[in-house]
Amino acid sequence: MKRSRVLATFAIGLSLFGSGIARADDPVTEVTELNATVGSSIAVSGKATFAPGLKVKVTEDGAGDHTLTQVPADSGTDLLSASITAVSPRKLDFELEIGDLPEGGMDEIINYNWPMMAGESSFDLNAHSQATGAELTCGVVFACTGGNVGGTRFSLNVCAPDPNTGQETCAVSPLTGEITATSVIWHATTAEVPALAGGDLTIGPDGNIAASLSASGITWYTNGNGGDTMGGDLDFFFPSGKVSFGIAPAGTDVDAVALTSTVKASASSGNFTGSLAKPAAGSYILVAQACFGTGNCSARLSSPVSVA
């Protein structure tokens, strides 16, 4: 069955980002502050920063299997893969790789929809070009601009059937995003999509990722009508920033100290607190290491501790 949706709210959100070349001020995963207070136990506190994790490909699709393979040649409908990157403990990037994006941007008659679920919350990421009436007359009817008209909208859509009409209607919130030569990317924070803070994301449990025909973002298909679909039910785990620490006698090699306690750092500030059992009197070193997902850990930082 073909399915269309009607927007309840129009929203605009566009942000173009840089090339991704590393800069001196780019975040790195590290413990920047480490403190110990000796009492009945050793209270540990400090601060950490977290660098983006690796891009994780969660699903992919064959090239050249989209509906609009001939006219237009560059329709932007050939979906190739979907990837997620944990940029920080508060932000995820969602990227669709597309084999035939039109030069200069997204075609007004195509929209991209990525359904997913976090915990019990289901939602869609949507991107489309929304044109004015004049642009529609020129760009679509007479094709005088090749169809690449309007401004690009990136949004979070939470959709449900209207109890009165039965029409599936969507509450829409703006997100930032970008279009590269080969992909469409949504930038989503846990403040914008609170469900993301839950950890596990299931990709497309209620439908496929799809490139479908659209009418300037007013009505659109989500089933790949006129375009392409890409199935995917692989889970993605959104890591949290964590700090592990331990204590050993002074003179122990830093890399040999057992990290016996792990705490979650604040997603907003990077601050962390924890405690260790108080050892016998003597001189010790406190060692800590920050991690943001598998393989994204810092060098160890140490601090001297004296126990009376």
Cα torsion 61, 63, 65, 66: sign? positive
Reading phi first (left if > 0) and then psi (alpha if -120 to 50, else beta), residue 90 is in alpha
| Domain extent listing, the chain | 4-16+53-237, 30-51+240-307
Which CATH architecture fits 30-51+240-307? Sandwich (2.60)
Instruction: Decide if 291 contacts 272 (C-beta within 8 A).
Output: no
Between strands 4-7 and 168-179, the pairing is parallel
Mean pLDDT, residues 166-187: 88
Q: Kindly report, residue by residue over 279-308, the tens digit of the pLDDT.
A: 999 999 999 999 999 889 999 999 999 999
On the question of pLDDT at 15 being above 50, the answer is no
The per-residue pLDDT for range 57-76, each reduced to its tens digit, is 999 998 888 876 655 567 78
- Distance between CA atoms of 10 and 199, rounded to whole angstroms? 29
Q: Model confidence at 216, in pLDDT bands (50, 70, 90)? A: low
Q: Give, for 135, the enclosing helix (H) or strand (E).
A: helix 133-136
Stated as kind and residue range, the H or E segment containing 30 is: strand 30-38
Q: Which has the minimum average pLDDT: 178-192, 194-208, 242-256?
A: 194-208
